[in-house]
């Protein structure tokens, strides 16, 4: 059995120059296209090492690669997996795959077996699935912590009164705890989405040959298992080109970071000296180089900036998928953009986790914002409605006019007297029976208002506690599921490593 | 117990003019903002009828609305639910909610009870969830049919040879059946996503009061059940403002239509006279007004156009969510855009279903495209590799050079002789043992090539059949699940209708 | 000379059923594709009337349409231009073009001459250019008013002190006038862009035949002139498919509305009760249906929502253009989306113009926000630097530490004594010579700080005035240019109308 | 006059730790936020060197920096401008600006003067304008070459017959020259846009102090001139935050690359073996690693991928701008994304230039595609219409039916006899007078058809030549204007360099 003839210089060898192609790639193609493609694949470097090892081992065990060559190839692959400094990918050698091939070819003629029954895209795509799985688990972990931190904070602040705003206008009294927890629930939905996406990504494209199956071997289940996947992607052509996963990953990153962004945009406003409810820890801010007084909430603005970047990635990935099928540009930047979107979301979650855990809430300033009691207007209207039996619309109108009247006198709702209220009722011919001092005072007491919100999901203290427990419990389950998945993957790769080392040693 | 005083003209009455606000809305605000907002809510019209009925009934039964008023209100609501021609929403009366209120107020003073313990956004948001649920079920049904149609077609064409292309260059031999089925699998993933999203949407926001719970009633579970939802959205503030659902809905519409788009882009190319594999039914095409020879594949181009529109909606909905929390513009156009994205995807699926079901495949033209046997080059290389024991890289290079040599002689791979092949091997010092006429002929027989692709997901006939059965089975289960969900929703609304009619009759 | 034979029913006649196409369009194609296409073309209805008149007249005068037929056709076209109620486009008759054709065909056999030497896309594209020109002029007018209103307001408030914020943290003292005017300058750049785009759109695609010129007539210059365009688009194939104009129009709408959005987002914050600088007129706000105290700044939130919608349109239009060339889906929704983006921007400008013109600025609240003098910190540092000759970095550090010390004492910069300042300098070994009471008081006087900003573009009163004059002058010139362009277009169409009426009368 | 006290370690010194901020930045803030921000600013490194030199020189000449310190600072800045290996920016030292400051501070206490009267954003923003100007000139040069290459190719192929396609269906006969040139004209519009944008970017933000002007110096015109800008951005606050330029730059990159993309998508189809008109040079393709026969048109697919990436950047930059004003996240990634979008477009143009210049057109295959003469159907209908005086609609219908009849006989239009044509006319009762053999043959001769398209922009040879000359002339003028602008910028920077060297030497 013969080995291949002496090798040409690396680039030509792996780019088929002088074989299928008459010419080497042009300088433009190399510096413009290959270099960008290569850069976008570097994040797959570690994972493709695993893929190549599993591939080589599988074909070796099937007897398709002669044993000595297989051993030689695997030894070289193991060396390359350690990311040696001699491996410095460059555009002249094409993409990550051919750069690896060129490095291997300098070390062993057995490199010629690497491409056996496999398009480069199979290797890259399998590595991409591995990386996406890891990124999803990291995001799962970060989001779980986010839910937990918010639940804790919501318990701590479940009786800290504050206004709830709509349109940035104070709307009704709430607690800072109820407010904060409202960001935990979208994160739980993100965790649900993440679980669904993980199921879809955790399937192995390996072994599909060129486009629709290999003509010489049946090893897709084996490859899948060796690499720690749940099972092979069923349809070989689909396996090669799944465009939906990148779009879904981007959308998940977007829903996750948009939730953070909304919290951060709120906190930026609450952290102004005019609102003053919240103070970010100095270690999440940044000083100005010209204005000595400033502590800029850098972390918060950063999250918004990153969110907008992910909006762009979402557009890119969806547009990228919209071509005739089986186009390499579907993957060109997606290999980088999809994992990077998840990584960016994870990083944003971590940063916000730290900001929320360490920020201070100023109860006094929050109470100040309730002082004029305008936020109690709807509670007052509802109490008037019930007491007098008048309809909601009329009661609402009465309180609206009462407010205007007070305003004209330079007063606020907190200063309303029983006489004012009864006067407003009488002005439109409504009864005043049941409209008492007690009614007025209860309606204008924010703590009373909050305590009354006791139905599912309401702001009252015990419901905030009950919801926090439910949410934290859900988070705990996700944390365990993530840990299990991570352990499963790691165990598979450790087994693979042991297997290839055995094989390399000839064991 | 008194009813409200005589009503002012409709617009002023429902827009609080002269109460909280000193002035009527400006003409610009009305014609520019209110009119666009109203237009974007019209799709919620039917659903908000249900929501208002459930709301009124629930409060009436809780004794919060006096029985006579409640009856009067419900009678009017039932009339309004029938979409009478007297209900012609106009921007002067604000949004859909206040337009309904204005219509009711002209009929009964009991209209004053409609807003009881409820922000308008609660009503609109609940209607929006109802509409999204319906749209998801429709999309589920259409996608299920898509999978089934593709499975059938893949069975029909599981032995129809054709090239599989990458970069639009013929790559390897396949069957049209294997090719077509590759679009069914992403659709099955879309159905998985759809199920996840449905779970998240099928929760009821009703009963949340202003922002964080109602101070006067505990009826969220009751409202949820009456409207056919699975359960209330847990956290009241979250329930009011869930921005993630719209983003997720858009992403689902995008993954679904991008899958269609890829098929349509392929079919447009296959339907050219130069390719000629496929002919669209005339009833999915359009004639040119100037070029008498043309049958333009209008349906296919249309799907691409619609896909691009959904890319825009995806950007819009994500950008729209990125604000401080509790901003009405988060919903402004989302009430329309999110259901419309799903509807557009559903329509695109239906159109493609018809195109695929009725298109003709031209076996002869497809075989023509295989005639030069260039698509068999990789199979040839693999056979040479195995026969000679040479490595893959070398075998590949030999076939590459063989092709260039043939090309220089004006020949194609189909014309290669055993002598040519052996010569190419000898040129690079490789052995020719085992390289026989039989090897060459088998390698260049597309049917043999396809039959050899027998691993999981491969193109061979029995695997195409096995996959088609698996996919069709999955589709059947989804079809049943969709039907069950739809029946559940309809039953709930029928019960609600019966209940309100009973109540209206005083039963 | 013979007229055409009796006409089949409208749809079949204009859709070539039974001629090129064997079948009528499928129900799916009609209700899904044709109906959406038609809806997206309705905004071109008036303009296409002009195009058809110019087309018919031009061919009639060239003798290509027999005079009697031409007269009959033009009479019918004139009737159709008046938008008779009998013209109710429906998807069964295809797009706008074939709907018109069907209407005409019911009235005169001369309708058969309408399509002479012209693809439908030529007519629609020419109408689209007409509509874009009109929309651009409207936007130009609105933006001009925006600049003028801001200039006026900036003059009115050029001495109204207020903080300038970065990161929503008070940064340095400014005037509300200088602040407001900062939004006029981007609008002037938008007007420059608009002028460039108008030049590119104001060219006529008419007369290009099918794709690359007409084989039977030379009338492109004549058509262009008749329709009031500057000249024909030079290259016929380019004329048919210019995709860049829609992308550029969307980008212009986006830059214009993003500028508004930034102002509106600021105003929403300034209009909170916590900031309280600004109060929107009630007629640009909206009452809550549940919270009687609320005056929600509806107009401001609306602008943000509309801005996000335009972000989506921008994505859509760019994605839409990315196909092989000469695809009808490039235009499918662009006929509607591009003009609508411009119209939306125009409407947003108008709404903001009214809001800005009528809002109230509360000088006292703005001064309050300067009261602690933290905004003067950088001026203090610069004065210390100059007085002591110490470097900027050190002076900045001294003031930073001074602020922290004051803060620890519960004091603010306004309360700093000369002793505090000198102490802070001495603490780090810096000289205090020149650091006087006068220096401290001047540095902490916001009016002095503002007056010192006197270089190009600075906040001092006279520079604000000078800039306002320059900007208003530029706006005036644009206003005149817009009026001239509008007059030119209208005159051409009036001439065309006169010409066709003469022709119809046989004059 | 004293120098500053001994310096703390670099990061703390430049990040104001222990001064305004009590704590160092958290690890999360550093590794997540600062590192991403820094990475996004690295492309400004060279330009910020110029900005700092101009800044230091200007303040030194104004006597605000003591001469010895100024000299010391400038010497260090000059050293830093040479990008010494000792300058290795790291996130611990914050952004690019503070990294530079930290490097300087290790070398000279005069570094303390760098921040004089300037926010970091002023320096970065000015550098960003410098970089954008350079990128625009590069893009201008590349697009000019694109126009020239297309004009040359259009002359070369102005008589090379080929079909013009719509919907990828052969539409009418044209020449490959007319076709190719249709991409030159959008590029000329891009050059117009580029010129407009350059005007807007070529203005200097320097000298604006914190936000609204410097309180201690008037040097904006001087800074502008020294850095080679046309003039200062007029309004200081606007100068700091212009968000429109990034949006406009992205839109320009998008229109430019979308034009390329359309050409590349066409070429990918024309380069299929089924169409076969075009063959890309091997040096712009790539071999497959598994399929020996493939020469994949890598360059073409790459351009599409890059176009989609720019669509994402466009979304990102517009979304990024949509915040309250004066937010640092508006610039966070824009410093990188906007120049990178222009650079990507430039690279794509260069790559396409090479592909177009070196690709081969296969006249025979193109003629093949015309062989059935179906593309001549509209010319035939027009000739029949004129000869018989029948209306267009009827003539069109006759040819449509003729085609169906031929098709049913397995024939094509090229095989139509005069008898067939006359029969088709008679079938619908139309006259045949004038319908001669000569008419039929002329109508079916593609060269005759093309020659008749002689109006403005048509496909006939002399008009293609005339247009090519006009376009090439326009390109030549742009080339000169770009060269002039580039020379002007370079001269200014050379003068600045000479000035600072003189100053450093104490000259």
Q: How far apart are CA A456 and CA D423, in angstroms?
A: 80
CB contact under 8 Å between C274 and A272, yes or no, is: yes
D284 and A CB contact within 8 Å: yes
Instruction: Tell which A residues from 378 to 397 touch C, by Cβ distance under 8 Å.
Output: 378, 380-381, 396-397
CB contact under 8 Å between A244 and B182, yes or no, is: no
CB pairs under 8 A, 24+ apart, for C278-281? C278/C359, C278/C360, C278/C361, C278/C362, C279/C359, C279/C360, C279/C362, C280/C355, C280/C358, C280/C359, C281/B23, C281/B26, C281/C355, C281/C358, C281/C359, C281/C360
A–D CB contacts, 8 A cutoff, strictly below = 218
pLDDT given at position C482: 98
Helix (H, G, I), strand (E, B) or coil at C184: helix
CB contact under 8 Å between B273 and D169, yes or no, is: yes
- Paired with B167 in beta bridges are none
Phi-psi region of A94 (alpha: psi -120 to 50; beta: other; left: phi over 0): left
pLDDT given at position A506: 87
Instruction: Tell which C residues from 70 to 109 touch B, by Cβ distance under 8 Å.
Output: 94, 97-98
CA separation, residue D459 to residues B359, D266, D270, D314 (Å): 35, 19, 20, 35
CB contact under 8 Å between A169 and C413, yes or no, is: no
Tokens of residue A204, six digits: 């192995």
CB contact under 8 Å between B32 and C348, yes or no, is: yes
Report the residue of B125, B192, B251, B261 to disrupt the A interface, i.e. the one with the largest count of A CBs within 10 Å. B251
Tokens of residue B312, six digits: 């825009």
Report the residue of C8, C120, C261, C325 to disrupt the D interface, i.e. the one with the largest count of D CBs within 10 Å. C325
A–B CB contacts, 8 A cutoff, strictly below = 410
**Average of pLDDT values for D384-397?**
94
- Spatial neighbors of B437 by CB under 8 A, at least 6 apart, are B418
Report yes or no: A53 and A74 within 8 Å, Cβ to Cβ.
yes
Instruction: Tell which C residues from 165 to 204 touch B, by Cβ distance under 8 Å.
Output: none
CB contact under 8 Å between A169 and C399, yes or no, is: no
pTM to 2 decimals? Answer: 0.97
* D301: nearest CB among B167, B289, B292: B167
A178 neighbourhood in chain B, CB within 8 Å? 212, 237
Residues C62, C68, C73, C79: is their CA dihedral positive or negative? Answer: positive
Place of tokens 């703590």: A447
pLDDT given at position D2: 45
* C293: nearest CB among A276, A291, A377: A377
CB contact under 8 Å between D288 and B319, yes or no, is: no
D33 and C CB contact within 8 Å: no
pLDDT in tens, B121-160: 999 999 999 999 999 999 999 999 999 999 999 999 999 9
List the single residue in A with minimal CA-CA distance to B231. A456
CB contact under 8 Å between D292 and B167, yes or no, is: no
CB contact under 8 Å between C382 and D315, yes or no, is: no
Tokens of residue A138, six digits: 């990291």
* B290: nearest CB among C119, C292, C302: C119
**Average of pLDDT values for D420-426?**
96
- Planar angle of CA B125, B128, B130, nearest 5 degrees: 115
CA separation, residue D148 to residues D356, D357, D475 (Å): 11, 10, 7
pLDDT exceeds cutoff 80 at D8? no
Q: How far apart are CA B65 and CA A16, in angstroms?
A: 82
Helix (H, G, I), strand (E, B) or coil at D45: helix
Instruction: Tell which D residues from 2 to 31 touch A, by Cβ distance under 8 Å.
Output: 15-16, 19-26, 28-29
List the single residue in C with minimal CA-CA distance to B292. C20
- Planar angle of CA B115, B116, B119, nearest 5 degrees: 55
pLDDT given at position B2: 45
D291 and A CB contact within 8 Å: yes
Report the residue of C207, C289, C311 to disrupt the B interface, i.e. the one with the largest count of B CBs within 10 Å. C289
Helix (H, G, I), strand (E, B) or coil at B187: helix
D330 neighbourhood in chain A, CB within 8 Å? 305
C138 and D CB contact within 8 Å: no
C269 neighbourhood in chain A, CB within 8 Å? 168, 269, 272
Radius of gyration (C-alpha) of chain A in whole angstroms: 31
Radius of gyration (C-alpha) of chain D in whole angstroms: 31
pLDDT exceeds cutoff 70 at B242? yes
pLDDT in tens, D17-37: 877 788 899 999 999 999 999
Length of chain B: 507
Lowest mean pLDDT among A135-144, B19-28, D71-80, D319-328: B19-28
| Count of alpha carbons within 13 angstroms of residue C353, beta-carbon side | 21
Helix (H, G, I), strand (E, B) or coil at A451: helix
pLDDT exceeds cutoff 70 at A265? yes
Cβ neighbours, 10 Å, residue B497: 14
**% of chain B at pLDDT higher than 90:** 92
Q: How many helices (H) and strands (E) does chain B have?
A: 22, 8
List the single residue in A with minimal CA-CA distance to D121. A289
For all residues of chain B together, what is the average pLDDT? 95
C305 and B CB contact within 8 Å: yes
**Which residues of chain C, if any, have pLDDT below 70?**
1-9
CA–centroid distance for A349 within its chain? 8
CB contact under 8 Å between A453 and B110, yes or no, is: no
pLDDT given at position B143: 98
Report how far apart the first and last C-alpha atoms of chain C are (Å, whole number): 22
Closest approach of A444 to chain D, Cα-based (Å): 34
**Average of pLDDT values for A251-259?**
98
Cβ neighbours, 10 Å, residue C429: 12
D338 neighbourhood in chain A, CB within 8 Å? none
CB contact under 8 Å between B289 and C314, yes or no, is: no
Report yes or no: C25 and C15 within 8 Å, Cβ to Cβ.
yes
pLDDT given at position B342: 98
Lowest mean pLDDT among A384-398, C2-16, C275-289, D455-469: C2-16
Instruction: Tell which D residues from 411 to 440 touch B, by Cβ distance under 8 Å.
Output: 413
pLDDT exceeds cutoff 50 at B425? yes
pLDDT in tens, A70-97: 999 999 999 999 999 999 999 999 999 9
Q: How far apart are CA A416 and CA A406, in angstroms?
A: 7
Tell me: ipTM over 0.85: yes
Report yes or no: C311 and B316 within 8 Å, Cβ to Cβ.
yes
Report yes or no: B194 and B143 within 8 Å, Cβ to Cβ.
yes
pLDDT exceeds cutoff 70 at D157? yes
pLDDT given at position A8: 54
Report the residue of B327, B457, B474 to disrupt the A interface, i.e. the one with the largest count of A CBs within 10 Å. B457
Closest approach of B272 to chain A, Cα-based (Å): 14
Phi-psi region of A63 (alpha: psi -120 to 50; beta: other; left: phi over 0): left
CB contact under 8 Å between B213 and A5, yes or no, is: no
Tell which residue, D192, D183, D175, has the closest CA to residue D356: D183
pLDDT exceeds cutoff 90 at B479? yes
CB contact under 8 Å between D291 and B377, yes or no, is: yes
Closest approach of B449 to chain A, Cα-based (Å): 7
* C457: nearest CB among D199, D235, D391: D235
List the single residue in C with minimal CA-CA distance to D326. C166
B233 and A CB contact within 8 Å: yes
Closest approach of A491 to chain B, Cα-based (Å): 25
C406 and A CB contact within 8 Å: no
Report the residue of D164, D169, D370, D401 to disrupt the B interface, i.e. the one with the largest count of B CBs within 10 Å. D169
Q: Tell me which chains share at least 3 CB pairs under 8 Å with chain B.
A: A, C, D
- Paired with B295 in beta bridges are B287
Lowest mean pLDDT among B10-14, C248-252, C369-373, D502-506: B10-14
- Ranges of beta strands (E only) in A101-198 are 161-166, 169-175
Closest approach of D407 to chain B, Cα-based (Å): 11
Q: How far apart are CA D228 and CA D207, in angstroms?
A: 14
| Count of alpha carbons within 13 angstroms of residue B136, beta-carbon side | 33
A318 and B CB contact within 8 Å: yes
- Spatial neighbors of D288 by CB under 8 A, at least 6 apart, are A119, A210, B166, B171, B378, D294, D296
Report the residue of A277, A293, A382 to disrupt the C interface, i.e. the one with the largest count of C CBs within 10 Å. A293
pLDDT band at B8 (very low <50, low <70, confident <90, very high): low
Q: How far apart are CA A390 and CA D7, in angstroms?
A: 73
């Amino acid at each position: 059995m013969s080995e291949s003839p002496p090798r040409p210089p690396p680039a030509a060898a792996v780019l088929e120059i002088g074989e299928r192609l008459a010419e080497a790639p042009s300088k433009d193609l190399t510096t413009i296209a290959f270099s960008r493609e290569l850069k976008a694949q570097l994040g797959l470097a570690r994972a493709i090492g695993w893929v190549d090892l599993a591939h080589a081992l599988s074909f070796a065990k099937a007897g398709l690669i002669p044993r000595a060559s297989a051993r030689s190839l695997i030894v070289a692959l193991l060396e390359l997996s350690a990311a040696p400094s001699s491996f410095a990918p460059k555009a002249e050698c094409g993409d990550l795959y051919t750069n690896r091939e060129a490095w291997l070819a300098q070390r062993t003629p057995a490199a010629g077996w690497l491409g056996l029954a496999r398009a480069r895209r199979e290797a890259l795509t399998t590595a991409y699935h591995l990386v996406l799985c890891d990124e999803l688990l990291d995001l799962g972990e970060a989001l779980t912590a986010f839910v937990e931190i918010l639940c804790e904070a919501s318990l701590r602040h479940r009786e800290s009164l504050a206004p709830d705003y709509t349109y940035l206008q104070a709307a009704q009294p709430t607690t800072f705890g109820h407010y904060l927890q409202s960001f935990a629930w979208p994160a739980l939905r993100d965790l649900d989405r993440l679980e669904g996406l993980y199921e879809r990504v955790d399937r192995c494209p390996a072994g599909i040959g060129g486009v629709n199956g290999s003509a010489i071997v049946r090893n897709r289940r084996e490859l899948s298992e060796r690499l720690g996947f749940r099972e092979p992607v069923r349809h070989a052509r689909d396996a090669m080109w799944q465009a939906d996963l990148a779009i879904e990953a981007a959308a998940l990153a977007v829903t996750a970071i948009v939730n953070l962004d909304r919290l951060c945009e709120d906190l930026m406003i609450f952290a102004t000296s005019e609102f003053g409810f919240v103070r970010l820890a100095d270690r999440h801010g940044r000083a100005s180089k010209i204005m000595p007084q400033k502590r800029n909430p850098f972390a918060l603005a950063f999250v918004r900036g990153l969110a907008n970047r992910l909006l762009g990635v979402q557009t890119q990935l969806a547009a990228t998928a919209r071509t005739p099928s089986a186009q390499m540009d579907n993957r060109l930047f997606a290999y980088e953009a999809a994992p990077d979107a998840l990584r960016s979301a994870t990083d944003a979650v971590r940063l916000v986790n730290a900001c929320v855990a360490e920020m201070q809430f100023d109860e006094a300033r929050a109470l100040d914002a309730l002082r004029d009691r305008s936020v109690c207007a709807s509670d007052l209207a509802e109490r008037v409605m019930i007491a007098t039996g008048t309809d909601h619309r009329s009661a609402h109108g009465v309180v609206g006019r009462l407010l205007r009247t007070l305003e004209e006198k330079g007063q606020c709702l907190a200063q309303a007297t029983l006489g004012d209220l009864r006067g407003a009722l009488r002005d439109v011919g409504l009864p005043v029976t049941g409209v008492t001092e007690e009614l007025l005072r209860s309606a204008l007491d924010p703590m009373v208002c909050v305590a009354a919100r006791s139905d599912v999901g309401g702001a009252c203290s015990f419901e905030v506690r009950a919801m926090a427990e439910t949410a934290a419990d859900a988070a705990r389950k996700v944390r365990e599921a993530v840990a299990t998945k991570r352990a499963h993957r790691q165990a598979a790769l450790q087994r693979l490593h042991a297997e290839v080392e055995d094989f390399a040693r000839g064991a």
